Structure formats: structure tokens, C-alpha cells
Structure 1
């Protein structure tokens, strides 16, 4: 990842938030798509939420036990705020109707594209 960042002339943060995030999230995406087609939406949402909770708490917990993690100010000031904002966007969407419809999906994808654009630029 570091070599790719140097080759592309971007920061490691950009590679982590785009390429690595996409690569590590593909299994969750495939699982969610298959579960959705089978109308097993609890499995799709449970997989997504469980994976994110595990990633944030367990992976950060384990890696910080092994070695202290320095958190970049941009991650604190930008990415963590985006994560909080996205959570605050999704929560009312789910609570209001107890479902996410196609237009909610479009909104979420547009927000992701915009976030990615802001990270890269």
C-alpha cells in the first residue's frame, strides 16, 4: 500500500480510505447482495454492522495493545467527523421507516462518492 501511494503520488491515508477499504469490504458487499436477493435483510444489515463494530473496536484494540497507534490530525478532524456524520445520516433513515429503500441507497452512494472525492482532492 505504501508503494502504491508513492507510485500514485498520494498519501497513505488516501490509499487506506479508498483501495484498501474497498478491497477489505468486498466480502461484506457480496454477502449483503446475496442476502438481499434472498430477502434475508437481517443477515445483510447484521453482517455490515457486526463487521464495522468488530473493525473499529477489536482491530483498533488489538493493534493498539501490540503497538501504540498515532492518529493523524486529518483522520481526527476529517474522517472521524465523516464517520459520525454518516452514522447520524443512516440512523434516522432506518428509524423512520424501519427500512432502507432504493432512494436511500442512492443517497448513501452519492455521499460515499462525495466523501471519496474530498479525500482524493
Structure 2
């Protein structure tokens, strides 16, 4: 029991200091390279913070535990949007730029509406649909960067 709590404490400390280092380094890199914080957040930070979810979902998919894979992704997105945004805005007011409202929010709503028929019609997301989703992500990322 002591070993488990020690590992949890060490992991929590590593997560705290690692995430602080990661976000500050990404911000410094953006400033140094003249890139907007939005682009770094949408690309580098989003990818870095989503890698644990990707690994968890891939492992669950290999084990044929598809509910775990989808639950991980859905739960994470719901938690990020509602809890993270909610808790952060309790601490400090969050100013939302016009670019995020007029571009990123439209993309997010469109992709959400696209996924619905994938899941509702055949009750599956197959390789072809996965390829479409990855392709859209690549297109979106290129669109944001240029």
C-alpha cells in the first residue's frame, strides 16, 4: 500500500512539474520563433497532452476493449471542455479570440457532427473512417499553420 501511494505521489509530482515545463517551453518556443500561442497550443501542446489518451485507446483497441477506447476519448473531451475550462475560468477570466470563435469552434462542431453518423449508422468506426478523421486532422493542422 505504501509503495502504491509513493508511486502515485511521484507520478503526480512528475505530472505537475512536467506539464509546467512543457507548457512554458512551448510558449517560449512560440515567442522565440514568432509563432502565435494559439498555433502552438493547437499543435504541440494538444498533441503532447493527448498522447496518453492515444496510447490508452490503442492498447484498448488491440485488446478488443472498444468501449474502453471510446469511453477514454469521449470522457477526456467532455472533461477537458467542461471541467478544465470551468475550473480555469473560476481562477481567471478566459478571453476568447475571434479566430477561435470563427474558426476553431466551427471545426470542432463540424467534426463532432461528422463523427455522429460514423457511430450511429453502423455502430462502428472502421479503418476507412479512421483514415478520414486522421486526414481531416492533418488538413486542419496545415490550415491553422498556414
State whether TM-score is above 0.5: yes
Q: How does 1:10-89 map to 2 (within 5 A)?
A: 10-89=35-114
User: Bigger relative contact order, structure 1 or 2, given CA contacts below 8 A and separation 6+?
Assistant: 1
SS at match of 2:86: helix
Q: Output the TM-score relative to the length of structure 1.
A: 0.98
Shift of 1:48: 0.2
Corresponding residue number in structure 2 for 1:94: 119
Corresponding residue number in structure 2 for 1:6: 31
Q: Output the TM-score relative to the length of structure 2.
A: 0.82
Cα distance in 1 between the residues matched to 2:49 and 2:84: 13
Q: Which runs of 4+ in 1 moved over 6 A?
A: none
SS at match of 2:129: helix
Question: Over aligned residue pairs, what C-alpha RMSD do you find?
Answer: 0.6
* Alignment length (residue pairs): 121
SS at match of 1:98: coil
Q: Which runs of 5+ in 1 are unaligned?
A: none
Cα distance in 2 between the residues matched to 1:107 and 1:67: 37
Structure whose alpha-carbon radius of gyration is higher: 2
Cα distance in 2 between the residues matched to 1:103 and 1:56: 28
